[in-house]
Amino acid sequence: MALFTPGRRWQPPFLPFKREPFGKRFLRKIERWIKGPLFGCRMCGNCLLQETAFICPMECPKGMRNGPCGGSTPEKCYVDETRPCIWYKIYERSFRMGRESRLLEVLPPLDWDKVGTETWGDVIRSARDFGTGKFIRERFSRDREKKQISWEAVFQPVRQPRWWNGDSDYHAPGYQKPFSRLERELKSGKFVITAEVSPPLSTATGKLKRDIEHIREMVTAINFTDSASASPRMSSMACSKIAADLGVDPVLQIAARDKTRSGLQSDIMGVNVMGVHNVLCITGDNARIGPSPTSNTNILDLDAIQMLWLLRRMRDEGIYLDGRKMKAPPELFLGAAASPFASEPRFQALREEKKINAGAQFFQTNLIYDPDGFEIWLEALDRRNILDKVYILAGVTPIRSNRMAQYLHHTIPGVKVPLRILDRFEHAKEDDYEEVGVEIALDIIEKIKNKPGINGLHLMSVGWETIIPRMISESGLS
């Protein structure tokens, strides 16, 4: 266990892919010997300790470098239950030290050409560029502003390479005219309803098309999940193409779990040509909760925040990640998932602000079963002055059975079903489960639809698409 990092074990370091000069190898050994026992250092090649309250984020089993996933809890990591959630610990210490503002900076993905190598050499070279003597003198200055400026001048280029240029500022969209029906109706102030249709388990598209036709007149846009619960289904991209061909506005979901940075950029250019403009960036459920055999759980090439940053720059600046210019940038309305019940509201509010700064224009929230707890989360967002920068679609799902209620509460990260609802299913007859689930969902809709900051609903039917028209009609939103 690392001395200053509350992780469970000292993880093995990444190994470099290339031969290095003796001086660099020697410096790497020293850095590893010092930072390994203190911080559990894995030699990622882009040290972020100063931004993460001196707790190494590479202790996270998912390799999250910009904050916790939607399943963050105070108790444990849902991927490796023998360990604490390292990002909960980072947030907890940052808030205690008054360093939470540093967590807003959008940090880059790993440069695998540097992974396994030392970082100290980069710091030394950056100090030389600034002026080593000047840097040392200003470290002993009594002028706090001077000290901070000199510190950033040396360390900012190290953690923010030119190909990334991340910051902690809000970036408004660089265009005016809406790209999709969803964006147009949200901008007009209309209370919007989106729905989710489950992709098929095979190549058969008959039921998928029937489900789309069944709800198309009652919703503004339709989401298609991207291998939800880490279980393979027809791709969100293929389902979105089918919806677009039927004249429906699709929301393409992209799970970072299954994407590389090159694949993401290629796919986005392709789906834009297909008529898909709404993109929901999510990190995705870890392979640990999917079917066996389990795929790689060690590291993500990109997290959801990095995806938002990359796609926003493609759209607004017309550049690929490597800096190449494109003649016709993609037209994207960018969204992200929000988790009102993961971790603590103040931590989640900061995480959502970071997503907005990176490029998120709308949120579709995780499942809501506690309207009062949801309001606490909204108040936390309001305290950060971000409710006017994003459209929020509240997520509602009808529960079909007692087994489903227990599964959602105990298995799905970031979802909490209150005891009163669990008890209601425990005491209901099996034949009444579905009716009880619809009644609960309608009651939740009634309680949240008029809350300040809510711009619409996102109905997730989990394979029960036929219930969506009834929910919309009986909630008075048709």
DSSP reduced 3-state for 397: coil
With cut-offs at 50, 70 and 90, classify the pLDDT of residue 8: low
How far are the Cα atoms of 8, 36, 41, 59, 199 from residue 1, in angstroms, in the given order?
A: 5, 10, 11, 11, 43
Among left, alpha and beta (phi > 0; psi -120 to 50; other), residue 296 is beta
- Give the 3-state secondary structure percentages of the chain, helix then strand then coil, rounded to 5: 45, 10, 45
For 320-339, what is the mean pLDDT? Answer: 95
pTM for this predicted structure: 0.93
The pLDDT assigned to 12 comes to 79
pLDDT of residue 11: 74
Mean pLDDT for 345-366 is: 96
Higher pLDDT, 395 or 287: 395
Question: Is pLDDT at 231 greater than 90 in this prediction?
Answer: no
pLDDT class of 1 with cuts at 50, 70, 90: very low
Contact 47, 39 (CB under 8 A): no
Long-range contacts of 30-33 (CB under 8 A, 24+ apart): 30/120, 31/118, 31/119, 31/120
Whether the predicted pLDDT of 456 surpasses 80: yes
Q: Are 174 and 315 in contact (CB under 8 A)?
A: yes
DSSP-derived 3-state class of residue 403:
helix
> What's the distance, CA 321 to chain centroid?
19
pLDDT at position 79, please? 84
Compute the average pLDDT of residues 89-115: 93
Confidence band (pLDDT; 50, 70, 90) for 74?
A: confident
pLDDT confidence of residue 165: 93
Q: How far is CA 201 from the centre of its chain?
A: 25
Long-range CB pairs of 469-473, under 8 A, 24+ apart, other chains included: 469/214, 469/215, 469/218, 470/438, 471/396, 471/398, 471/438, 471/441, 471/442, 471/445, 472/193, 472/218, 472/219
In this model, does residue 181 exceed pLDDT 80?
A: yes
pLDDT tops 50 at residue 109 = yes
Question: Which pair of structure tokens corresponds to residue 130?
Answer: 């600034």
**Segment 333-350 mean pLDDT:** 94
Whole-angstrom distance, CA of residue 245 vs CA of residue 452: 36
Q: DSSP letter at 325?
A: B
In this prediction, residue 173 carries a pLDDT of: 95
pLDDT, residue 3, reads 65
What does the alpha-carbon distance between residue 198 and residue 177 come to, in Å, rounded to a whole number?
30
Q: To 5 degrees, how large is the angle CA 13–CA 5–CA 123?
A: 60
Reply yes or no on whether the pLDDT at 187 is more than 90. yes
On average, the pLDDT of the chain sits at: 91
Q: CA–CA distance from 376 to each of 338, 361, 367, 412 (Å)?
A: 14, 21, 15, 21
Peptide bond into 16 cis (omega under 30): no
pLDDT digit string, tens, across residues 111-162: 999 999 999 999 999 999 999 999 888 888 888 888 889 989 999 999 999 9
Confidence at residue 77, expressed as pLDDT on a 0 to 100 scale: 87
pLDDT tens by residue, 243-290: 999 999 999 999 988 899 999 999 999 999 999 999 999 988 877 777
The pLDDT value given to residue 82: 85
> 454: phi > 0 → left, psi -120 to 50 → alpha, else beta; which?
beta
Segment 21-30 shows an average pLDDT of: 90
Provide the β-strand partners of residue 253: 280
What is the rounded distance in angstroms from the CA atom of residue 208 to the CA atom of residue 214? 10
| Residue 294 pLDDT grade (very low, low, confident, very high; cuts 50, 70, 90) | confident
Supply 247's token pair. Answer: 């004249």
When pLDDT is cut at 50, 70 and 90, the band that residue 337 belongs to is very high
Task: Please check the confidence at residue 470 and state whether its pLDDT lies above 60.
Answer: yes
Integer Cα distance of 101 and 146 in angstroms: 19
Is pLDDT larger for residue 276 or for residue 74?
Answer: 276
pLDDT, position 358: 97
